[in-house]
Structure 1
């Protein structure tokens, strides 16, 4: 289950890559635009504003996120991205911070891109921080005896490709490709801001696997480790570097 409130606690930082992604989509007009994995719908209004003439569809596999999107006035629907197929008039697809949750998502790209009409745009963004200190600490802690039975192996380090590998996949599908990566150095505040951040995303599978007692012990131990890896500055700021991977493809 997703907790929209926890996820949106860092909405400003999480939304910034989406803005950078959209800036590289060159479609001037569109008949249909898909927000594939819309979450709580924070990106959808940007799509509606940029392509006001388009039919904008927003889908997400999480009922909790779709309820949050609908509460914000977004006509979102529950649908698993693995079952989605573009309609014939789909001119823009934006898939922001979604594909890292889907093992084998490259096969989905190989199905989606050829199904798009000529001239259509597909834009994806995924986190590229699976080798970061935060993920290392989560994986190492989950592998310890107290939690190993329930939580070990839930977080993989190979969930996404490198930018050049996405570029190869998309180019082989006959698309013009723009791929890159950026590392954002987020200035976070609070007692345990990195723990709060990962609680909204990376720790979801761990939380689901542990009972309440084990979860609280896991979280307390992880908090100590993350404070050491991401020390708070004297002014109260904690720097949190976060690598993101982008690819924009235009169907020939």
Structure 2
């Protein structure tokens, strides 16, 4: 990825259960039985990539990420594990080798402008019988994101944050990804899920977005400015997501796309 924010692995995995569940919902629909080479594009801290190695212990499993901090965390978490490796790499420049049977991209392509064209390239390049599984957040119209953009575009912050945040064009709709796969001749299963996540603790929604959507803002501002921006943003979040006795409900919509490239002589739909 060419313009990704800096990442804090510890902050990102703080909500590991909520962030991990969509990964397993996604990969459960991959029907590959004995893949040779599995690639996790945007692998982050590597915990979920390791789950792919658990599922397919005879495969070569490779995690690739553009963040040095994430790759360092991944290598420290799984040192010397046979068949599992991590490396720094640009997702946009990546191309599959001939033996790649499974590609997973979980919650990363929203950071890549024009990623549907990138998916189209992978659909063409991957070998017959290969699987591609993609998940992207579909919550850019949620209060967490609309309030963030509105504050960034306010008179106080517009000059400092102009062009920093992506808008509603960051991802497509489910039908867009279905059409992309089917038009390329792939079998496809596309769906969306809204997780009604219950967050606990002080300022829970702010702490969530600190690990993801807020990262570009933090990168663009000084520490003093970031603290001021966060304080203003948090007041908006507290109003939009009121705390309840059991926690704060934070609905999160996600889009899923899993496909298989049929072999030339195989017309059977696996879904």
Settle same-fold status: TM greater than 0.5: yes
1:198 deviates by 0.4
- Aligned match of 1:182: 193
C-alpha separation in 2, matches of 1:45 and 1:5:
17
- Which 10-residue stretch deviates more, 173-182 or 47-56? 47-56
Give the 5 Å matches for 1:1-252.
1-73=6-78, 75-155=85-165, 156-235=167-246, 237-252=247-262
Query: 1:11 aligns to what SS in structure 2?
Result: helix
C-alpha separation in 1, matches of 2:151 and 2:48:
34
C-alpha separation in 1, matches of 2:219 and 2:53:
34
The unaligned stretches of length 5 or more in structure 1 are none
What CA RMSD, in Å, does the superposition of the two structures yield over aligned residues?
0.9
1:226 deviates by 0.2
Contact 1:180 1:245 (8 Å CA) reproduced = yes
Deviation string, structure 1 residues 192-239 (Cα, Å, up to 9, x no partner): 00000001100111111111221111000111110000000034x000
1:44 deviates by 1.0
C-alpha separation in 2, matches of 1:211 and 1:46:
37
The unaligned stretches of length 5 or more in structure 2 are 1-5, 79-83, 263-271
Contact 1:139 1:152 (8 Å CA) reproduced = no
Contact 1:143 1:153 (8 Å CA) reproduced = no
Contact 1:38 1:59 (8 Å CA) reproduced = yes
Contact 2:64 2:88 (8 Å CA) reproduced = yes
Runs of 4+ in structure 1 deviating by more than 3 angstroms, as ranges, are none
Contact 1:147 1:214 (8 Å CA) reproduced = no
1:134 deviates by 0.4
The TM-score with structure 1 as length reference comes to 0.97
C-alpha separation in 2, matches of 1:116 and 1:52:
22
Aligned residues: 251
